[in-house]
């Protein structure tokens, strides 16, 4: 048999790209919103690609999903209601659903094709969407509009979006963060994917500056995610009253479920950033 030599490449800039050997293309389609591809790669397992950008891979998805979900959920002493905007692959839902106190998880993914394709081709990641967990509800609406109907409702909101280009751009605006703030309960916390400090430091500064218009506590934290550009990804965090450095759910964490990346010990350390990133954060929040 002749090797097909199928490779998927993602350009991080016009002058740098990363390539993965693909065993086979499992799915390729175009929804109302974007192109959707699923590749079976040799090294990273199955990979979800939207508009040509890697969203998640089986091999390292746990890092992203644990870190975007458990950091806010363990700062809060007992989160009961959560909203995820984006995140149609279901990985963030899966992690939040592990918290025993959680009573309601709404996944607001605008593109129902992403959910359908993930349920079919990425069962490891989307497992919670295929379960009969009645705490979980999936809605296919525009997150920017959807969140506006809530006030003082969610303990945790996670913005698990694509990059701030095209349809995803509105999820990085000051106005949107204001609606998120209002939809959160008094002790509510939000996190979002905040690009990477190597290629996108200016975008990251815009994110924290806009978050700080609304939230008294604004933080960044990082995690090593090999499938994303630079390999070291950032998350933004906004908190209304709870100091993010305090892991109020620490006892709950010790008694709860195993993790692979997140740990109680690392929690306060997460917010100690590389100096250039800390200075960029300080500069942006002082504006």
Q: Helix or strand or coil: residue 109?
A: coil
Q: Which of positions 232-251 make contact with a copy of itself (CB under 8 A)? A: 232
Q: Report the residue count for the chain.
A: 287
Q: Tell me how far, at minimum, the Cβ of 63 lies from a copy of itself, in Å.
A: 8
Of 218, 262, 280, 281, the one binding a copy of itself (CB under 8 A) is 262
Q: Which stretch binds a copy of itself (CB under 8 A): 114-122, 204-212, 225-233, 248-256?
A: 225-233
Q: Where are the alpha helices (DSSP H) in 49-142?
A: 61-75, 91-96, 112-121, 123-130
Helix or strand or coil: residue 41? strand
The structure tokens listed for 38 are 């699923």
Handedness of CA 109, 110, 112, 118 (dihedral sign): negative
With CB under 8 A as the contact rule, the residue among 43, 152, 175, 251 that binds a copy of itself is 43
- Based on the shown chain and the rule CB under 8 A, indicate whether residue 202 belongs to the binding site for a copy of itself: no
- Residue 223 found at the interface with a copy of itself (CB under 8 A): yes
Measured CA to CA, the distance from residue 141 to residue 14 in angstroms comes to: 33
Q: How does DSSP classify residue 173?
A: S
Q: Which is nearer to a copy of itself, 6 or 138 (CB)?
A: 6
Contact between 205 and a copy of itself by CB under 8 A: the answer reads no
Is 13 one of the binding residues for a copy of itself (CB under 8 A)?
yes
Helix (H, G, I), strand (E, B) or coil at 206: helix
Please tell me the count of residues contacting a copy of itself according to CB under 8 A. Answer: 43
Residue 136 β-bridge partners: 105
**52 binding a copy of itself? (CB under 8 A):** no
Residue with tokens 């790669």: 41
User: How do beta strands 35-41 and 16-30 pair?
Assistant: antiparallel
Q: Which of residues 59-118 bind a copy of itself (CB under 8 A)?
A: 60, 63
Report if residue 278 touches a copy of itself, rule: CB under 8 A.
yes
> Residue 18 is inside which H or E element, if any?
strand 16-30
Least CB distance from residue 279 to a copy of itself, whole Å?
9
- Site for a copy of itself contains 21 (CB under 8 A): yes
Q: Which residues pair with 87 in a beta bridge?
A: none
Q: Are 236 and 194 in contact (CB under 8 A)?
A: yes
CB 190 within 8 A of CB 202: no
Is 60 one of the annotated active-site residues of the chain?
Answer: no
Q: Which of 89, 111, 160, 200 is catalytic?
A: 160
Binding of residue 42 to a copy of itself (CB under 8 A): yes
Tell the smallest beta-carbon distance from residue 123 to a copy of itself (Å): 22
186 near a copy of itself, judged by CB under 8 A: no
Return the active site residues: 160
What residues line the site for a copy of itself (CB under 8 A)?
9, 13-21, 41-44, 60, 63, 197-198, 222-226, 229-232, 259-263, 265-266, 268-270, 272-276, 278
């Amino acid at each position: 048999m002749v090797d097909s030599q199928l490779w998927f490449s993602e350009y991080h800039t016009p002058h740098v790209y990363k390539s993965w050997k693909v065993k086979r293309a499992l799915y390729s389609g175009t929804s109302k919103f974007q192109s959707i591809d699923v590749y079976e790669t040799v090294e990273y397992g199955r990979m979800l690609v939207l508009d040509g950008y890697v969203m998640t891979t089986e091999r390292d998805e746990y890092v992203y999903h644990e870190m975007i979900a458990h950091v806010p959920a363990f700062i809060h002493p007992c989160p009961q209601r959560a909203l995820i905007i984006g995140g149609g692959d279901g990985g963030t839902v899966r992690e939040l659903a592990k918290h025993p106190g959680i009573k309601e998880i709404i996944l607001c993914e605008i593109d129902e094709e992403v959910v359908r394709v993930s349920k079919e081709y990425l069962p490891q990641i989307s497992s919670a969407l295929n379960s009969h967990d009645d705490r979980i509800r999936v809605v296919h609406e525009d997150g920017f509009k959807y969140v506006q109907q809530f006030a003082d409702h969610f303990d945790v909101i996670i913005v698990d979006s694509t990059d701030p280009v095209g349809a995803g751009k509105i999820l990085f605006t000051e106005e949107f963060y204001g609606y998120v703030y209002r939809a959160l309960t008094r002790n509510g916390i939000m996190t979002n994917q905040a690009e990477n400090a190597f290629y996108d430091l200016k975008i990251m500064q815009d994110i924290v500056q806009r978050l700080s218009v609304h939230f008294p506590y604004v933080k960044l934290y990082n995690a090593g995610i090999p499938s994303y550009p630079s390999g070291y990804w950032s998350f933004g965090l906004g908190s209304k009253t709870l100091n993010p450095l305090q892991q109020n759910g620490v006892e709950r964490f010790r008694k709860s479920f195993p993790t692979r990346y997140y740990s109680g010990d690392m929690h306060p350390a997460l917010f100690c950033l590389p100096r250039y990133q800390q200075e960029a954060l300080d500069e942006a929040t002082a504006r």
